[in-house]
């Protein structure tokens, strides 16, 4: 048995499972299917609205923690696949080194994006408030911190997507040279392009459209992009990778 290929296939299966299930859970939670959303009255003041938002966030926290753990495991799988694929393909090729470095850095950033956001959110939405005249300013400042955490996570996620895409292009070029199969090469290239398109949408298109005062549902579009890239395309690529590594292993044995 080739332990490198076997290990790579297992990490690829883990990546496919965690991102698929994690994305499904994100959709269920954010669309208030598995947890109720905030019930904010039309005449609620800003502090009252924030208080209700925090209450709903605490109720959803166990499920958020679950899919955050899943995504963290998926990002770990990406980081592990870098050096594994480098060993499987060609250690001496500069493209293999570039792929391994991009996967490692991207996976690390991905894990940090989950841990930082979840830990910060737990503190920001905690049900402990000042029983004094500064309650309203405290709630507003906490919401500001909460929104800042969301922005940090968004940037880190897009950084992961961009770096992972660069690594995917290196992997596709190397796999093509190694003859690992047209299907894997094609799937790797497609996922790389989708990753770059996703990052470009978030960091270039959305700011330009907002500045141009184009009013569309950016949140829903972002959720759709997440579903397509993280919930469909990436798991499919990971499954193809796992099968490719297994087939290479079987060929080697034969």
143-190 tens-digit pLDDT: 999 899 999 999 999 999 999 999 999 999 999 988 777 889 999 999
Alpha-carbon dihedral 219, 225, 226, 227, rounded to 10 degrees = 110
What does the pLDDT read at residue 248? 52
Residue 213's alpha-carbon distances to 113, 207, 208, 216, in angstroms, are 29, 10, 9, 9
What does the pLDDT read at residue 219? 83
Helix (H, G, I), strand (E, B) or coil at 127: coil
Q: Which two tokens stand for residue 14?
A: 């883990």
- Ramachandran region, residue 162 (left: φ > 0; alpha: ψ -120 to 50; beta: rest): alpha
Cβ atoms 75, 110 nearer than 8 A: yes
Cα-only R_g, the chain: 21
Cβ atoms 4, 88 nearer than 8 A: yes
Predicted confidence (pLDDT) at residue 128 exceeds the cutoff of 90:
no
What does the pLDDT read at residue 136? 86
> Roughly what angle, to the nearest 10 degrees, separates helices 94-124 and 46-89?
160
Predicted confidence (pLDDT) at residue 249 exceeds the cutoff of 60:
no
Spatial distance between the Cα atoms of 196 and 224, rounded to a whole number of angstroms:
16
Cβ atoms 212, 137 nearer than 8 A: no
Residue whose token pair is 């939405």:
125
pTM strictly above 0.85: yes
């Amino acid at each position: 048995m080739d332990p490198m290929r076997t290990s790579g296939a297992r990490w690829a299966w883990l990546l496919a499972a965690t991102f698929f299930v994690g994305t499904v859970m994100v959709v269920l939670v954010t669309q208030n299917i598995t947890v109720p959303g905030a019930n904010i009255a039309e005449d609620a003041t800003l502090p009252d609205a924030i208080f209700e938002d925090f209450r709903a966030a605490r109720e959803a926290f166990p499920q958020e923690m679950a899919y955050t753990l899943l995504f963290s495991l998926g990002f770990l799988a990406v980081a592990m696949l870098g050096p594994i694929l480098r060993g499987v393909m060609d250690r001496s090729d500069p493209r293999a080194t570039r792929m391994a470095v991009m996967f490692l850095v991207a996976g690390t950033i991905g894990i940090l994006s989950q841990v930082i956001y979840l830990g910060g959110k737990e503190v920001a939405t905690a049900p402990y408030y000042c029983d004094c005249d500064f309650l309203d300013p405290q709630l507003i400042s906490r919401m500001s911190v909460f929104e800042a955490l969301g922005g940090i996570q968004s940037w880190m996620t897009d950084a992961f997507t961009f770096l992972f895409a660069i690594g995917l292009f290196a992997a596709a070029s190397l796999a093509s040279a190694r003859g690992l199969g047209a299907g894997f090469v094609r799937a790797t290239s497609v996922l790389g392009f989708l990753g770059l398109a996703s990052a470009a949408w978030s960091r270039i298109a959305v700011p330009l459209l907002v500045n141009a005062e184009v009013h569309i549902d950016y949140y829903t579009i972002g959720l759709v992009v997440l579903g397509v890239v993280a919930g469909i395309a990436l798991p499919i690529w990971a499954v193809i990778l796992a099968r490719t590594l297994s087939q290479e292993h079987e060929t080697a044995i034969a």
